[in-house]
Amino acid sequence: MERVRELAPFVKEALQKTAGVAKAFCFLHVTNTYLCSVVTLWGPSMLPTFNHLNVALAERISTRLGKIGSGDVVIIRSPEDPTKVVTKRIKAVEGDVVSFVMDPNNSDQLNTVVVPKGHVWVEGDNMQDSRDSRQFGAVPYAHVQSRVFFVVWPPKDLKLIGNKVL
């Protein structure tokens, strides 16, 4: 019994520290899921806006409130491969008319579509090397996960990402 009394302060401290770590992980989970997350941007589709392996902050509040629009850079669940997420710029929202060229090398073939209700039209800034709505069509709004607002790495690329309509 004496041994149990000797260990009680250590057990109590261990439980308190464990609870503190659990609270920290809960805070990180809630922040990442509902507020803001750190994302790595890679691939050629958003050049020159983003360079390969930029690290950025993406907020989730605007998408949940339906406050994103043309010009916003967003992280979306890929319509072609749901296990992947991609970074694109919103070009049009529901009801907008979009005219686009399927093949940038053949600008004679102009297509026009109306973005359906509950969808957005997304394109990469690098039109020559991007798979986007020109190939897979409008994306359901539910696939939009977050809006990129700030590049944090590398330091030479540090910048705010605004609502730039291209």
Report pLDDT for 114: 94
| Residues 67-94 pLDDT 10s | 899 999 999 999 999 899 999 999 999 9
User: What are the catalytic residues?
Assistant: 45, 88
Backbone angles phi, psi at 39, to 5 degrees: -125, 150
Query: Between residues 101 and 108, which one has the greater pLDDT?
Result: 101
Mean pLDDT over the full length of the chain: 88
CB 121 within 8 A of CB 133: yes
Report pLDDT for 56: 94
Q: What's the whole-number mean pLDDT along residues 45-54?
A: 87
Q: Is the N-terminal amide bond of 116 cis, ω within 30° of 0?
A: no
Q: What's the whole-number mean pLDDT along residues 15-28?
A: 90
| Residues 29-40 pLDDT 10s | 888 888 899 999
DSSP string, 93-160: ETT-EEEEES-TT-TT-EEEEEPPTTEEEEE-S-GGG--SHHHH--EEGGGEEEEEEEEEESGGG-EE
What's the half-sphere exposure (Cβ side, CA atoms, 13 Å) at 139?
31
